[in-house]
C-alpha cells in the first residue's frame, strides 16, 4: 500500500511540474488567429457594399486599357455588369400570371427564415433562366435570434410561350407532407 501511495505522489509531482512548465512557456499565435502585422479587411456593410461596384468598374476599365475619363455615356453600358431586375413579383402574386417579352427579366421576392431549417426550393420551366439568387436578412433587433428575411431571384425569359415558376418552402431533409407553403407563377413570354 505504501508503494502505491509513493507512486501516486510521484505522478502528482511530475504532473505539477509538466503543467507549470506549460504555463510559463510563451504562447505563439493560434492556428486561426490573425497575426497583428497583417492587413485587416473591413466587413462589408450596406454602407460600404456599393464600394465594390466602383472597384469593379475601375478594374474593368483598367483591364481593357481605357482610362476612366475616356468613357462616354454610351460606353458605360458596355462596362455595367449589373443585371436589370425588371418588375418585382412577391407572395401577393401567388397563383397569378405576368407577361414579358423574350429577353426581359423579373425579380421574385419571397419571405422566409432559414434559421428554422426552411428554405425556398424554386423550379422554373426551360424557357426561364435564373440569373441570380440571394437572401437578405431583415434588421436584427438587439438580443434577437432567428430573424426572417427575403429570398430574391432575378429570372430572365429566354423562350417564348407559357412558362412556370414553382416554389416550395420546405426543409430539404423532410418529406413533403402537403401543408408546405407553395408559390406558383405563370409567365407569358411574347
Residue 25 in grid coordinates: 512557456
* pLDDT level of residue 9 (50, 70, 90 thresholds): confident
CA dihedral 126, 132, 135, 136 (to 10 degrees): -140
Which residues, in sequence order, are bridge partners of residue 123? 166
Strand 105-112 to 87-89 pairing: parallel
Model confidence pLDDT, tens digit, residues 27-64: 555 544 444 544 444 444 343 333 333 333 333 333 34
Model confidence pLDDT, tens digit, residues 98-142: 999 999 999 999 999 998 999 999 999 999 999 999 999 998 888
Range in 49-53, 69-73, 135-139, 148-152 the model is least confident about: 49-53
Both ends of the chain: CA-CA distance in Å? 95
What's the whole-model pTM score? 0.56
Residue 76 has pLDDT above 80, yes or no: no
**pLDDT value of residue 186:** 96
Residue 86 in grid coordinates: 425588371
Beta-strand runs (E) in 85-190:
87-89, 96-100, 105-112, 119-124, 128-137, 149-157, 161-170, 181-189
* pLDDT level of residue 83 (50, 70, 90 thresholds): low
Strand, coil or helix: 28: coil
Amino acid at each position: 500500500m505504501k508503494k502505491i501511495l509513493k507512486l501516486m505522489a510521484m505522478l502528482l509531482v511530475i504532473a505539477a511540474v509538466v503543467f507549470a512548465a506549460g504555463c510559463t512557456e510563451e504562447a505563439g499565435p493560434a492556428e486561426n488567429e490573425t497575426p497583428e502585422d497583417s492587413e485587416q479587411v473591413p466587413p462589408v456593410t450596406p454602407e460600404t457594399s456599393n464600394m465594390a461596384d466602383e472597384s469593379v468598374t475601375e478594374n474593368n476599365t483598367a483591364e481593357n486599357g481605357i482610362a476612366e475619363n475616356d468613357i462616354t455615356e454610351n460606353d458605360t453600358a458596355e462596362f455595367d455588369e449589373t443585371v436589370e431586375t425588371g418588375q418585382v413579383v412577391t407572395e401577393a402574386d401567388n397563383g397569378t400570371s405576368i407577361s414579358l417579352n423574350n429577353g426581359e427579366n423579373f425579380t421574385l421576392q419571397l419571405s422566409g427564415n432559414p434559421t428554422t431549417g426552411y428554405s425556398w426550393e424554386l423550379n422554373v420551366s426551360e424557357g426561364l433562366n435564373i440569373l441570380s439568387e440571394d437572401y437578405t436578412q431583415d434588421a436584427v433587433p438587439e438580443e434577437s435570434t432567428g430573424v426572417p428575411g427575403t429570398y430574391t431571384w432575378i429570372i430572365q425569359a429566354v423562350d417564348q410561350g407559357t412558362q412556370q415558376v414553382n416554389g416550395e418552402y420546405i426543409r430539404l431533409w423532410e418529406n413533403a407532407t402537403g401543408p408546405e407553403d407553395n408559390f406558383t407563377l405563370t409567365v407569358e413570354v411574347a
